[in-house]
Each structure stands twice: as C-alpha cells, then as structure tokens.
Amino acid sequence: MKITKEIRLKISINTKKAMWTPTIRKKYLSAINSDSYRINKSNAAKKWWKNMDKKEAERIKNIFRTCNIGRIYTAEENKSNSLRLKKLWKNEKYRNNVIRKSIIGLNISPNNKEQQLINIIKLNNFKFKFVGNGLLVINGFNPDFVNNEDDKIIELYGDYWHKNTINKDRRRINSYKNNGYKTLVIWERELEKPNKVVEKIVNLMEKR
C-alpha cells in the first residue's frame, strides 16, 4: 500500500490528537522514560554512528564544535549562565515570547470540547477567537479564547485536568485581571447545556 501525503497528514493529525488524551499520553511518557527505551535508543545511535560515512561523520562533528555541543563548562560559567537566564526569565515580554513560541511549536488544534465551544461561539456570532494554540500569552498563561475588541477571555476548564489546580487557576485569573481582561470560566460539563453557556457568555459581554 502506497502512503500518500493525505494519509500521512491524517496519521499526523490523529497522532497529535491522541497525544492529548490523558491515558495515551501517560503511556507514551512512561515508555520514553523507561530504561529499556534509553538503552535501545543509545544502541541505535551507536550503530548509526559506527556505520556512518567518515566524511559525513566529520561534517556532523564540525557542526557540534560550532554549536559548542558537548563542551564542558566550568562552575563559574554555569553560574554565570544560570544568573543570566534567570534575569531574562524575569522579563515578562521575554518569558511570554518563549512560552508562546513553545506552545505554537506543538501545533495544537482545538480538542473536542474546545470545538464544541467554538461551534457555540460561531452559532451565536460571539466575537471570540480560539488562542489556546499559543497565539496569546499573558504573564506566562495561555488563555483558550479572547475577544480583543472588548478585553474579555473565556477559559474552558476540563473536569479532570483542573480539579486539583485551584491555586494555579487563581493566579491565572488574577494575571488576566491585572492586564485589563475580564474572564469567564466554563467547565466542560457545562457544555451539555449549550443554552446555559450562551447565557454565561452574554453576561460576560454585558460587563464593563
């Protein structure tokens, strides 16, 4: 069977969706952190390097030298680099930019619950845009939906993922508030009653 570009794309999309399923993600992380995985990966790398053409091996070594890969830093250099990075991380603009690029790099698409909310938003012509893929980062937090015309945010909380994150979620909402945004939290179980969700969004839009 020939694997076409369309099939590859479909496999890629389904794999990315599956990786955000708690059970599959847990199994994946458990597998790549296992001793057997590390040993197999190490053996494969050694075999690959051993069978490599000498010119290609030298080319890769030169790349490593240029990038300082494998260089051993002194204790003073490590301390200096650590302090420099900590100072940079305190800069909100720098921190938000790093986080934003990291999330965008994951190429996240809306999950099923987020898509349900997107459909409700479109059906009722609410001016909210999905930004949970890293398009907007505020003080280190990435909201799910934003209305930039009116400085309003909607966060869609998963019943599983947010049941034990009260303190972090409080910091999240306060960060948005300190940056001039009003926030509405919708729990995924509430999506079972779309009319109630619409009512909550309307109430948010009426706030000034």
Residue 116 lies in a domain: yes
Share of the chain above pLDDT 90, in %: 37
How many other C-beta atoms are found inside a 10 Å radius of the C-beta of residue 109? 14
H-type alpha helices, the chain: 5-19, 22-32, 35-50, 54-66, 75-89, 92-105, 112-123, 166-178, 194-206
Q: Mean of the pLDDT values across residues 26-55?
A: 76
pLDDT at residue 120 tops 70? yes
Residue 189, in any domain of the structure = yes
DSSP state of 165: -
CATH number at residue 128: 3.40.960.10
Segments forming the whole domain that contains residue 140:
72-208
Task: State residue 40's pLDDT score.
Answer: 79
Specify the pTM.
0.62
In a domain, 19, yes or no: no
Q: Is residue 193 part of a domain?
A: yes
In a domain, 34, yes or no: no
Provide the number of structural domains found in the chain: 1
In a domain, 198, yes or no: yes
- Torsional sign, CA 157, 192, 125, 101: positive
Q: Would you say the C-alpha torsion 167, 172, 175, 177 has a positive or negative sign?
A: negative
Range of lowest pLDDT (78-82, 103-107, 145-149, 185-189): 103-107
